[in-house]
A and B are shown apart, each in its own frame.
Chain A
Amino acid sequence: MKPFAYAHPGDVAEAVRDVAAEPNAVFLAGGTNLVDHLKLGIATPDLVVDVRTLTSREVTDLPDGGLRLGAASTNSEVAADRRVRERYPVLAQALLAGATGQLRNMATTGGNPLQRTRCVYFGDVTTPCNKREPGSGCSAVGGYTRYLAVLGVPAALPDPTAPETCIATHPSDMAVALAALDAQVQVLGPAGTRTIPFGELHRLVGDDPSTDTTLEHGELITSIDLPPLPAGTRSSYRKVRDRASYAYALVSVAAVVSGDDVRIALGGVAHKPWRATRAEELLRGRPLTDHAVRAAMDAELAGAQPQPGVGGGNGFKIPLAARTVVATLRELTSEATR
């Protein structure tokens, strides 16, 4: 734990200026992730800029029929919003599948998608981790991989000493639903505002494990917009975990079915919420039978790479992901025909 300066500026523009001016500054919203990291020495900022009261806490209707979630709206509030529950059940379900009631009362729309990986080595400063300390190596390869990635990782077993090695997963449930909904992220930065399609907010590891998102330093999420969905759209979120509550996903599935179009996002399997675009293409316009979904998921997962490790590795996630998508779409379509 390291001392830091704390600022509580008067508006978002000032907050963005404060963070932009200090290379080692961070925004603080609900604090459910950052405060732990401050205590554990995982995050060591010089300046913490509190934005909790600066952005909107409202959920508002957009002219196109969508919804705007203010960045300061809490996970509990969004999950309870009648419009969200009726029009975007996948999001309400994802939010309620995350964390605990106490944490959901604190965690925010802007902060939740930015939480860091739960890889146990990232969370332990006594072990090397390329994400926490670039270039130090990856302790996770061959270690405790149960909650780590099988998609978006190199085909061969990664080299734990290489600086680009990282098999972390993104832990947010909310983000998986937002990926399936093609949400839009509204951002204010030193250079002004911009809109980021949700699928482009998070990044794969590439050659830089330390960076989770495409946000520039000083950029602040001010709201997340949910586009309107065609009439008759059905959606749901299915989270498979080691205990029934308060556990991160082994695999989760966000599914949105609108007419011939099906959108599938997976959680717990990659460095970012994973849109199963190949499976979506194969299923577009086809009846969503168990057989067809299974075949589409097999194609989607063809490049998946199991990670061996202590406690049995994570190869089970590959069949589990396919089975969970099959079960989720079966339930969605059987509801539709009921």
Chain B
Amino acid sequence: MTDLLEPRAIGQSLVRRDGEQKVRGTATYAFETPVEHPAYAHPVQATIARGRVTAMDTAAAQALDGVLAVLTPFTAERLASVEDAEYAVLQSPDVAFRGQLIGVVVAETSEVARQAADAIAVTYAEQPHDSELRTDRPDLYAPEQVNAGHPTDVVDGDVEAAMRSAEVTVDHTYQTQMLHNNPIEPHATVALWEPGADVPLTLWDSTQGVHPDRAAVSEVFGLDEEQVRVVCPYVGGGFGSKGNPHANVMLTTMAARALPGRPVKLALTRQQMFFLTGYRTPTIQRMQLAADHRGRLQAIAIDVVEQTSKVKEFAEQTGVPTRMMYASPNRRSTHRLAPLDVPIPSWMRAPGECPGMFGPEVALDELAVELGIDPVRLRIVNEPEVDPDTGKPWSSRHLVECLRDGAHRFDWDSRGPGRRREGDWFVGCGVASSVYPTMRQATSTATVRHSNGRYTVEIGAADLGTGAWTILPQIAADALDADVADVEVRIGDTRYPTASVAGGSSGTNTWGSAIVQAAREFRGKYGADPRDGDEASGDVDQASPNEDHAAYAFGAQFAEVRVHADTGEIRLPRLLGVFACGRIINPRTARSQLIGGMTMGMSMALHENSVFDTRIGQVANHDLAEYHISVNADVQQIEAHWLDEHDPYVNVMGAKGIGEIGITGTAAAVVNAVHHATGVRVRSLPVTLDKLLPGLP
């Protein structure tokens, strides 16, 4: 138990401190950093999915006016560490996936760099590739663990026996699609290599964490961390794709090291991002539910098949939410990976929970239909008293309250039995639960310094557009018992104390805890009347302040859909979410986070789809004209609400983290609403009109 901070600045809807700079266009993103006499880099990518580069004729490229350097696997420097295969750029002529980096051109202008990159003639020894995800592959394997350190398989009781004896069962396979993060700001880096300087390498990089970025780059290039500075005050969206640096950062650094003293800029094109910056693996989820006639689960099982690249393993923890969501005496969750000749999957908003709340939440809806029970009630009936996975009590769990409050706000009870027609449109409503674990990273430090009645707080945190610039001062102000206007927080630079990555919805929890610790150290040392220059620091040195409780945020999402009776077009008049995610630091930025997550979930439900052309091994629709993200016209009203939840176990702010929960469960709510509207059950995302047409009159 922790005594929660008394909220004064916390809870206020303060406007974004960085808002005006962003609106005016004066906030500098990585690529726009003013640097002296920059050079521009353009990558060369493999156009085969597997094989070896046998030759690269760079003569024509090098002959172009303005070309400064051309690097290939045959000429590039040897890296100090190639332990992480993703970062081993230009270290070998082997090609592990189509689009892999095989060279870079640096030139006086970006146009010449691009022209020269196009002019390089590459010869390959091509080998057959295999990029098709199927459940009958003989090479499926169980990884040692899945993302975030979860066990690969968990079995409790006997699911098969329960399936045989239960009054009602559901046994279906659900599929989520391959998805790509598309932040508006592409992955971009400016690198400056000054061999004689105290800090020879400076990177202005679009990243979710300057310190993790620095750690990775230092290791790859064999530098001490003190020899590298990473700067990133603003990020135009990341969603996980900037959580780890990707190969483009190493390539830009390498290009800069080939041109000492000259800043080198590289921004990936939108098309290049579909090969190089990670993606959400497609998943195939076999769901089994067994229940008694009142809907009480006797068994719940999820068996997941998903993909990884052969060159580097990433195992999405898709089965993990099934382990803790609902009470059931018999439970099973497994993960199997298909190793393919494909780009490297990685983090995308709520890895694990996002795809992992699709199959189970649609299967529950199918069970509710089977039983003739209201799907809200079915979830309430299966509310567990303690965490079914660990047996620990909940730090706080208000899923039932979210479902009830949401049902009330949505007027759920008036939804009727289904297939209601209004003019040319079928109308229906669906519900699903949301969940996200409350996580704290083990390492972050903040300092507090006093000067002339004002406090400066420094921590190398990141604001991806989430609001950290604004809410960290609110936390600091309350921890210092100071006016928020007298607190300045500085983030986004490795010159500030170490901070963890903005990932796993852990930023506020981790950095906020470090700031509170620093503030308490400061007041403990200097009291209420400090002198100029007084300074103290505080650390977060443990991942969780309380190991005795299971800590999660919960939510419920309600969707109303309209399906056109002639064409099958789908529109979303209403999407409403109610969340229990601890204390809200700033309602204004929190609402944006939650609505943003729900929007991305709706986009997953209806639109986004990386169509992988397995014949050539690449995403066919690799730009924003063909990779569809939901637009305003698709939806009329999105609302996010939250309960006034007090959780004394998670941290001293009582905040659980809100960056990801909004995207979990949304797609299931939409699919369930489509079924309610049309009677068509879509088990494979996205829901598109061609999947509905055969079921329409």
User: A interface vs B, CB < 8 Å?
Assistant: 1-3, 39-41, 118, 120-121, 123-124, 126-127, 139, 142-144, 146-147, 240-248, 250, 310-312, 316, 319-320, 323-324, 326-327
Contacts and interface: CB of A to CB of B under 8 A. Distances in A.
A121 B614 CA distance: 14
Contacts of B111: 1, 3
B614 A320 contact: no
Interface in B575-619: 606-607, 609, 611-616
Contacts of B630: 243
Interface stretch (B255-263, B400-408, B620-628, B640-648): B620-628
A242 B614 CA distance: 22
- Classify chain B's interface size: 35 or more
Nearest to B46: A126
Contacts of B623: 123
Interface stretch (B201-209, B465-473, B688-696): B688-696
Given A126-B47, A324-B567, A327-B566, A311 B609 contact: yes
Contacts of A241: 569
B626 to A, nearest CB: 6
Contacts of A146: 611
A38 to B, nearest CB: 10
A243 B634 contact: yes
B587 to A, nearest CB: 29
B547 interface: no
B114 interface: yes
A248 B288 CA distance: 39
Nearest to A125: B118
Nearest to A244: B633
Contacts of B616: 127, 139, 143
> Interface of chain A, helix or strand or loop or mixed?
loop
B571 interface: yes
Interface in B637-685: none
21 contacts: A120-B620, A139-B616, A143-B613, A147-B626, A240-B567, A240-B689, A241-B569, A242-B689, A243-B631, A243-B634, A245-B634, A247-B628, A248-B625, A250-B689, A310-B615, A311-B620, A320-B568, A320-B690, A323-B693, A326-B566, A327-B566
A316 B628 contact: no
Interface in B263-279: 271
Given A242-B607, A310-B611, A327-B567, 17 more contacts: A3-B111, A41-B118, A123-B623, A241-B569, A243-B628, A244-B633, A244-B634, A245-B634, A247-B628, A248-B625, A310-B613, A310-B615, A311-B611, A319-B693, A320-B568, A323-B567, A323-B693
Interface of B: 47, 111, 114-115, 118, 271, 424, 566-569, 571, 606-607, 609, 611-616, 620-623, 625-626, 628, 630-634, 688-690, 693
B631 A244 contact: yes
B659 to A, nearest CB: 25
Contacts of B688: 242
B45 to A, nearest CB: 8
A242 B566 contact: no
Given A240-B689, A242-B688, A144 B614 contact: no
A319 B696 CA distance: 11
B465 to A, nearest CB: 22
A143 B628 contact: no
Contacts of B271: 40, 124
A122 B382 CA distance: 52
Contacts of B633: 243-245
Contacts of A327: 424, 566-567
Contacts of A126: 47
Contacts of B569: 240-241, 244
Contacts of B118: 1-2, 41
A319 B614 CA distance: 27
Given A126-B47, A243-B634, A323-B567, A310 B693 contact: no
A246 B607 CA distance: 12
Contacts of B612: 310
B615 A143 contact: yes
A146 B613 CA distance: 12
Nearest to A310: B613
B620 A143 contact: yes
A242 B567 CA distance: 11
Contacts of A247: 628
Contacts of B615: 142-143, 310
A293 to B, nearest CB: 12
B689 A2 contact: no
Contacts of B566: 323-324, 326-327
A241 B612 CA distance: 20
Contacts of B631: 243-246
A240 B568 CA distance: 9
Ordered nearest first, which 8 A-B pairs have the shortest CB separation? A244-B633, A144-B620, A316-B690, A327-B566, A245-B633, A311-B611, A126-B47, A244-B634
A8 B620 CA distance: 37
A116 B81 CA distance: 46
A309 B616 CA distance: 13
Contact of A120 (B47, B114, B115, B621): B621
Contacts of B690: 312, 316, 320
A296 B568 CA distance: 21
Contacts of A147: 626
A120 B626 contact: yes
Nearest to A147: B626
B626 A118 contact: yes
A153 B634 CA distance: 33
Nearest to B117: A1
Given A120-B626, A243-B631, A326-B566, A320 B611 contact: no
Contact of B567 (A2, A123, A127, A320): A320
B424 A310 contact: no
Contact of B571 (A41, A244, A316, A324): A244
Nearest to A143: B613
Contacts of B693: 316, 319-320, 323
A306 B566 CA distance: 20
Nearest to B572: A244
A286 to B, nearest CB: 21
Given A1-B111, A118-B626, A144 B621 contact: yes
A131 to B, nearest CB: 16
A105 B628 CA distance: 22
B377 to A, nearest CB: 33
B49 to A, nearest CB: 11
Nearest to A242: B628
B261 to A, nearest CB: 27
A2 B622 CA distance: 22
A190 B696 CA distance: 54
A70 to B, nearest CB: 28
Nearest to B424: A327
A144 B622 CA distance: 12
A324 B569 CA distance: 11
Contacts of A41: 118
A247 B621 CA distance: 13
B620 A310 contact: yes
A49 to B, nearest CB: 20
